[in-house]
Amino acid sequence: MQPGTTIFEHMSGLEAIVHGNNQYPSMWGLPELREAVMNFYERRQGVTLDPDQDVVVITSGATEALAASIMAVAGPGDEVILFAPAYDAYAPLVRRAGARPVWVALQPPDWQASGEAIAAAITPATRAILLNTPHNPTGAIASPAMIAAIIDLARQHDLVIISDEVWEEVLTGGAPHVSPFGMAADRTIKIGSAGKLLALTGWKVGWVLTDAALAERVAKVHQYLTFTTPPPLQVAVAAGLALPDTWFDAARARFVTARDRLAGALTAGGWALLPTQGSYFLMADLAASGIAMGDRSFCEAAVRSAGVAAIPLSAFMPDGAETPFIRLCFAKSDAVLDAGAARLNAALAGWEGLHQSPPIA
């Protein structure tokens, strides 16, 4: 397959819908996809896995993997450590499990947390630490020091590390992906998603990779959440994961180019951007760009007056309080990126006017 072409030209999903078995597959997922997931991580991340161990559970997207993992390890009276800002599903899922989110702040501009800060949040009720690297919304990756601290603390306090790594292939900063699974497979639930690996966000095929005992616990929850995931999509994702490294490398390179295109245009227009290492997102600093507006007010004005949808960082904060940061997505065509940057640059030049412009009826 040529880099740059879409996955559909290489997919056996259609064939699987027409000619394959469309009845309930195994609750754990199709054996061919579970094997493809293991092969993918051995090939791309150098992990060593025992083919005779049941360590992969296929889920309906990473979202179900998160729900099943949280419910597998935490319940009423328990606590789960979350890092703020956080992907929006985490806290509601922890609460839905009956547990309590305990927040540790990530510090800008590189959005890390120290071992001391994490240790201070641990109590006898803590059951898990939920890490997300690369991180949505900031585009940061957890430093090796932060990951080492999490592993140390998890070992000391007998905690599970739920590691949401859906952005593991969308690396834009040149640093390799580091997963706690590689160093602590016995207590890490690593979560992946075909939605991000194959740029098919609507397919909702995800998985956990963990050790056999934890996989059994996750599978028990998965049994009564969704039981299984559509088999033709699983067949197609297995074919996608077996694509050569050149395909994944080319996909990554396209996102680097898109990030650079948007970042370059905005920087030239006077925007102060934060460094970014992964995901489809980059963050702009309103205050450092000279805009004296909160993130929510700016995003409302930008969508109404400039037609650009940015997400306020406050939407990812536990208390929802306004911040000076907005999240921009660069997984767009060149034309959309150029138009968006031009409009944001014009908004920056006249932000006082932007603030005062009347809402579009």
Which residue stretch of 21-29, 178-186, 201-209, 346-354 sits at the interface with ligand PMP (rule: CB under 6 A)?
Answer: 201-209
Is 172 a binding residue for ligand PMP by CB under 6 A? The answer is no
What tokens does 307 get?
């037609």
Out of 7, 16, 33, 62, the residue judged to bind ligand PMP by CB under 6 A: 62
Q: Give least dist CB 6 to ligand PMP, A.
A: 18
Q: How far is CA 185 from the centre of its chain?
A: 20
195 sits near ligand PMP (criterion: CB under 6 A):
yes
How many residues touch ligand PMP under the rule CB under 6 A: the total is: 13
Residue 220, burial from CB neighbour count under 10 angstroms (0-12, 13-18, 19+): middle
- Applying CB under 6 A, does 63 fall inside the site for ligand PMP? yes
Please check whether residue 33 is in contact with residue 198, taking contact to mean a CB–CB distance below 8 angstroms: no
Distance CA(174)–CA(259), nearest Å, equals 13
281: exposed, middle or buried (C-beta count within 10 Å: 0-12, 13-18, 19+)? buried
- Shortest reach from residue 317's CB to ligand PMP, in Å: 15
Which of 34, 127, 190, 204 is close enough to bind ligand PMP by CB under 6 A?
Answer: 204
Please name the amino acid found at residue 118: I
Pick 45 or 193: Cβ nearer ligand PMP = 193
The stretch among 141-149, 199-207, 319-327, 336-344 that binds ligand PMP (CB under 6 A) is 199-207
Of 103 and 346, the one with the shorter C-beta distance to ligand PMP is: 103
Tell me the closest approach of the beta carbon of residue 145 to ligand PMP, in angstroms.
21
Shortest Cβ contact with ligand PMP: which residue? Answer: 61
Q: Are 301 and 310 in contact (CB under 8 A)?
A: no
Residue for token digits 């319940």?
75
Longest Cα–Cα distance in the chain:
64
17 contacts 232 by C-beta, under 8 angstroms:
yes
Shortest Å, Cβ 201 to ligand PMP: 6
Distance, CA of 197 to CA of 210 (rounded, Å):
19
Q: Write down the least CB distance from residue 62 to ligand PMP, Å.
A: 4
Site string for ligand PMP, 147-166 (x = CB under 6 A): -----------------x-x
What letter represents residue 305's amino acid?
A: S
Ramachandran bin of 206, using left for φ above 0, alpha for ψ from -120 to 50, beta for the remaining angles:
beta
Q: What six digits make up the tokens of 297?
A: 């007010």
Contact region with ligand PMP (CB under 6 A), list: 37-45, 61-69, 213-221, 343-351: 61-69
Applying CB under 6 A, which of residues 163, 193, 234, 277 lies at the interface with ligand PMP? 193
Q: Which secondary structure element, helix H or strand E, spans residue 13, and what is its range?
A: helix 13-19
Residue 161 C-alpha from the chain's centroid? 15
Give residues 88-147 in contact with ligand PMP (rule: CB under 6 A).
Answer: 132, 136
Our CB check for ligand PMP shows the closer of 62 and 129 to be 62
Q: What is the C-alpha to C-alpha distance for residues 236 and 239, in angstroms, rounded to an integer?
A: 5
Closer residue to ligand PMP in complex, CB, 59/323? 59
**Residue ranges in contact with ligand PMP by CB under 6 A:** 61-63, 87, 132, 136, 164, 166, 193, 195, 201, 204, 206
